[in-house]
Amino acid sequence: MLKRFGVSLPAELLKQFDAEIRERGYENRSEALRDLIRNYLVRRALDKNEEIVGVLSLVYDHHVPNLSNQLNDIQHDHHDNILSNTHIHLDHHNCLEVIILKGRYSEIKKLTDKIIGTRGVKHGELSFTSTGKNLTGV
């Protein structure tokens, strides 16, 4: 069953939202709002022991001494949580690494924080999802 409700937003915020959802190919605001709400609820309902799958993207300077070895060592120490990784040379200095992970949220968060916090890593971001089994009506 669908329910209608009203939302009040500043005009400029709504203009930016509409531009974004058009760019992403949404048919209407309702679809975009449903996705935003689901995403929010999945993260809020996440139990720290819940199984997740995630993608860690990181950019780093491979000229930083010993960084590649450190990143490899961390990944080998957590091989049970790492399903796959891809390494791409962006330019002479920068590399992109994408690591696919699986495990309890608390383990994955700790691991990704360690990787992102390693000296020489310029940027890192974890994107994850779960089955959302604690959610209803999504």
Does residue 134 carry a pLDDT above 80? Answer: no
pLDDT of residue 130: 76
Say if pTM beats, i.e. exceeds, 0.75: no
CATH number listed for the domain at residues 51-129: 3.30.70.1150
The pair of structure tokens assigned to 109 is: 């968060």
Does residue 113 carry a pLDDT above 90? Answer: yes
- For 22-30, the CB contacts below 8 A with 24+ separation are none
Does residue 128 carry a pLDDT above 90? Answer: no
Does residue 135 carry a pLDDT above 70? Answer: no
> Domain residues of the chain, as ranges?
11-45, 51-129
**Beta-sheet strand order (sheet of 94-104):** 82-89, 94-104, 51-61, 121-129
DSSP secondary-structure letter at 126? E
Residue 120: left if φ>0, alpha if ψ -120 to 50, beta else—which one?
left
pLDDT of residue 133: 59
pLDDT of residue 2: 84
pLDDT, tens only, 55-104: 999 999 999 999 999 999 999 999 999 999 999 999 999 999 999 999 99
Which helix (H) or strand (E) segment holds residue 49: the answer is: none
pLDDT, tens only, 4-57: 989 899 999 999 999 999 999 999 999 999 988 887 877 776 677 788 899 999
CA-to-CA distance for 33 and 39, rounded, in angstroms? 10
Residue 45: left if φ>0, alpha if ψ -120 to 50, beta else—which one?
alpha
